[in-house]
Structure 1
Amino acid sequence: MADLHPPEVTTASDRVPAPGEVRANGRRPRVVIAGAGFGGLQAAKALDGAPVEVIVVDRQNHHLFQPLLYQVATATLSPADIAWPIRAILRRQANATVLMAEVDGVDTARRELRAGAARIPYDQLILATGATHSYFGHDDWAGAAPGLKRIEDATTIRRRILLAFERAEMARSDDERRRLLTFVVVGGGPTGVEMAGAIVEIARKVLPPDFRLVDPRAARIVLVEAGPRILPAFPEDLSDYARRSLDSMGVEVATGVRVTACDMDGVSVALAEGVTPAAGSAIEGGRIPASTIIWGAGVVASPAGRWIEAPRDRAGRIQVGPDLSVPGHPEIFAIGDTAAVTGPEGRPVPGIAPAAKQMGDYVARVIRARVTGTAVPGPFAYRHEGDLATVGRRSAVVKRGGLKLTGFTGWAFWGIAHVYFLVGLRYRIAVAFKWLWDYLTLQRGARLITGTEKDGPVGQAVVPVAEEARRG
């Protein structure tokens, strides 16, 4: 069985050290961080120079900037634009070690993190294992409606979107062509709104010059939201603006409508209970034949709460104390999407990048105070830095304190904010240049169909290609 410690002689009198206590062999306290997302990486960086040994464990070798993942899925950016090797980020931090392993449990009695056959001892443990898609008890929908959490998800969605147009070019019938050119996005939060706006831009502005047998502008994009309005976390006037923007772009917005079934041929929908569909909702019930379905309706926390048998909320997030530690386990912290945290006015802290980074920084300060014997900071206090969502080209909504922005001004603010939070100057310049180039030329440079698709072959064209090509 693998152990990261060198062999040690143990006796029956050995005990697990208290949080922050230096072990008898003189080793510095070890802080193990499970997950290198926004919260975990921020905690690791904030412990730079602290008298601790930091070990970051992640199943991937890269840190991912998730807010721009939809731009990989819609061929605006390539994966390398928004993901960076964790080792490269922490290469200059002398007290940090990076391990690529998939965590599958925690032994709280022995204070060990489990990753397959490996056992990673800890003195302080930070659980920053994030969240995954929630299909509300219908996990069998996952194959037909991928969500957007990892690079693999984004490249799968990109492949399906681009393949839909390629297959429509060779469709056997008008009905099949309409199904292929129908895209359903489930969930009216920022991810859903941004995906719907990006797909309609591809169909209306980017692809038309490239095809001869089919008109990509005939694509139908449907955004389905079970609640009464899209972007429910935003003020109602900004939510209404986003809906009007999507309407003007050609997106069919269906609010007050829930998905009841989902497969490779489309979705079944019905009126949501207790919700009156907004005026102009595109769909009230029935079946939507569609070749591409994208899920953005909800998330569920990783199983970290089950690993340590901690109290959890309905989404599986660990209910933590004021210092973000787990009740009964002061040496274990949960942050980001792994934790259920209450913010100002008793509202839940949202599962967004700034919140996770604030939690990571706070927990690092608590651990630093513990090991140095200085005053521990007071309870965690979340500072909301605003809400942003882009609707499409030249259109976004921003709420930051008393400031509200829409249209081109909001879009520019959204772009600057996202570029600022990218890792490294080179990546900021590269992404900013690509956005500027795409804006001026209406081109998408990452339109590559890679990998394999499991949902069947393209099929045969019914009409002679040469004859159809002449029509263009």
Structure 2
Amino acid sequence: MDETVVVVGGGYGGAAVAKALDAHADVVLVEPRDAFVHSAGSLRALVRPEWAPNMFFRYDRLLSRGRVVRARAASVDAAGVTLESGERIDAGHVVLASGSGYPYPAKTRTDVAAEALAQLRETHRELAGAARVLIAGAGPVGLELAGEIKAVWPDKQVTIVDPAERIVPAFAPEMRADLHRQLDERGIGLRLGTRLSAEPPVEPGRARTFTVDGITADIWFRAYGVDVRTSHLGPDLAAARTPAGRVRVTPHLNVEGFPNVYALGDVTDLDEAKMAGYAMRHAEVVAANIAARVRGEEPTETYTPSPIPSVLLPLGPDGGVGQFPTPDGPLVVSAETVAEYKGRDLFIDRFVELFGTEPLTEAEAASGAVPAAEAASEAVSAGRR
């Protein structure tokens, strides 16, 4: 069996599965960005620009045997990947890990770390001069953004609007009550059951005073709207796509109908929140099953979403709410626990271990001097099709 594994997408799940398979197969990770982006740190990076380089990690030390090819996939089929350049990477196994897009600043708008850092700092300057902030969307992203803003600028007026009648409705009432308490303590306004009649007449992240539906603010951010990245699937794999654009998978995380193709993370149709932690658990299952197939064995690892959702939702470095599943039901955790697990460092140490290096330095991130992954043309010229 061809031991080449091509992983499409170097986000949380893609990087983890590539690393786990590096000792077992010929791994090619296809990723257009020049550095891994720790998107869970983007909201902290917005309000604390001195911290921002911590969300970028170089790819050049992720793999020992395999390689990272900086390129964008134009078409992916069950036999490999065709890059936008027209170059082809054939593979015995394909992993779909292309993730999803989300409005800035929760996710960056560029594939270049230096540009992303410059954009975050420009938006920071806009935000710093705004007294009143409107956030459209009271999901975890909108709530976390509000908490990060208040942690740095406690005197800013922050208002969140959402058409839903309740925040985080899938979670335990005790967690929701604690969340409301902490939002009240921070002076974060909630207008639930409220749908804006029109978007504010200014680009998100740009400071300009406006009034919409009786709400006056100086800057606003959009915290809703996921764009699943599966448009590059070829006709064979596209048949497994749902109307929402996600990919149907089996308990082994195979794409339905394709025993050599796997999917993980945001692109899957699994009934669970799309979170980095889940994507990295998917990566463990996918890596074990591909390693088994490379050894000539039948895959045995399966994945079943928990009926009890979990979350760690910081409200700045020292606040937040969380819930874990247990055999006895949901376990609601304290703000101190959220801060200890996630809020204070946002899991930076975990990614130092994964990528085998510290985050980018200030000089590397600002200058664009990121040690590059090999370009697609270099991989092909070296005979690595």
TM-score interval (norm. to shorter):
0.7 to 0.9
Q: Which amino acid aligns with 1:196?
A: A
Spell out the pairing of 1:266-285 with structure 2 (5 A cutoff).
Answer: none
| Structure 1 residues 84 and 410: alpha-carbon distance in aligned structure 2, compared to 1, 3 A threshold | closer
The answer on whether the counterparts of 2:101 and 2:228 sit within 8 Å (CA) in structure 1 is yes
| Aligned partners of 2:255 and 2:263 also within 8 Å | yes
Corresponding residue to 2:73 among 83, 92, 103: 103
What residue identity is the alignment partner of 1:80? P
1:187 aligns to 2:137 (yes or no): yes
1:319 partner SS:
coil
| 1:24-35 map, 5 Å | 29-35=3-9
2:321 matches 1:397: yes
On the 8 A contact 2:17/2:286 being kept in 1, the answer is yes
Matches of 2:311 and 2:58 in 1, distance apart? 28
Aligned to 1:312: 241
Determine helix, strand or coil for the equivalent of 2:298.
Answer: coil
Alpha-carbon distance in 2 for matches of 1:150, 1:54: 26
1:302 Cα deviation (Å)? 0.5
Change in 2 beyond 3 A, CA 1:430/1:375: closer
Unpaired segments ≥5 residues, structure 2 = 111-115, 205-211, 368-385
Offset of 1:314 from its aligned partner?
A: 4.5
Q: Distance in 1 between matches of 2:354 and 2:255?
A: 39
What percent of counterpart residues are identical? 23
Q: Does the Cα contact within 8 Å between 1:266 and 1:291 map onto a contact in 2?
A: no
Count residues with an aligned counterpart.
Answer: 345
The superposition leaves residues 403-455 of structure 1 with CA deviations (integer Å, 9 ceiling, x where unpaired) of: 32223344334347843653226999999xxxxxxxxxxxxx9xxx99xxxxx
Q: AA paired with 1:255? A: L
Distance 1:292 1:155 in 2: 19
Name 2:191's counterpart in structure 1: 254
Deviation of 1:83 after TM superposition, in Å, equals 1.6
Counterpart for residue 48 of structure 1: 22
1:387 touches 1:398 (CA, 8 Å); kept in 2? yes
Q: Distance in 2 between matches of 1:369 and 1:426?
A: 22
Q: After superposition, what is the alpha-carbon deviation per residue over 1:228-253, rounded to whole angstroms, capped at 9, x for unaligned?
A: 22233431221222122112212111
2:106 aligned partner: 148
C-alpha contact 1:34 1:103 (8 A) present in aligned 2: yes
In structure 2, the partner of 1:160 is 123
C-alpha contact 2:159 2:190 (8 A) present in aligned 1: yes
What letter corresponds to residue 269 of structure 2 in structure 1? A
* Equivalent-residue separation in structure 2 for 1:419 and 1:124 (angstroms): 30
In structure 2, distance between residues paired with 1:118 and 1:423? 31
- For residue 378 of structure 2, what is the aligned residue in structure 1? none
Q: Could you list the runs of 5+ residues in structure 1 that have no partner in the other structure? A: 1-20, 23-28, 134-141, 167-179, 205-216, 268-284, 342-347, 432-444, 451-472
Alpha carbons 1:322, 1:379 under 8 Å: kept: yes
Letter paired with 2:101: T
1:71 to 44, 64, 70: 44
8 Å contact kept, 1:184–1:221: yes
Q: Distance in 1 between matches of 2:266 and 2:57?
A: 21
Task: Provide the TM-score with structure 2 as the length reference.
Answer: 0.78
* Contact in 2 for aligned 1:125/1:331 (Cα 8 Å): yes
- Please report the TM-score for the alignment, with normalisation by the length of structure 1: 0.65
Q: Residue 287 of structure 1: CA displacement?
A: 4.4
Distance 1:86 1:156, change over 3 A: same
Partner of 1:329: 258
| CA 1:114–1:409: 2 relative to 1, 3 Å | closer
Alignment CA distance shift 1:381-1:57 (3 Å): same
The one-letter code sitting in structure 2 at the alignment partner of 1:320 is V
Rounded Cα–Cα distance in structure 2 between residues aligned with 1:418 and 1:393: 9
1:363 aligns with 2:363: no
Give the drift of 1:155. Answer: 5.4
> Bigger radius of gyration, 1 or 2?
1
Question: 1:113 Cα shift?
Answer: 3.0
Aligned to 1:17: none
Question: Structure 2 vs 1, CA of residues 63 and 287 (structure 1 numbering), >3 Å: closer, same or farther?
Answer: same
CA distance in 2, matches of 1:266, 1:37: 27
Secondary structure of 2:165's partner? coil
Cα distance change of structure 1 residues 323 and 419 upon mapping to structure 2, 3 Å threshold: closer
1:88 maps to 2:61: yes
Change (3 A) 1:264 1:199: farther
The answer to whether the 8 Å contact 2:311/2:322 transfers is yes
One-letter code of the match for 1:49?
A: A
For residues 264-297 of structure 1, the C-alpha deviation after alignment (integer angstroms, 9 at most, x for no partner) is 4489xxxxxxxxxxxxxxxxx8243434222222
Q: Is the 8 A contact 1:127 1:335 kept in 2?
A: yes
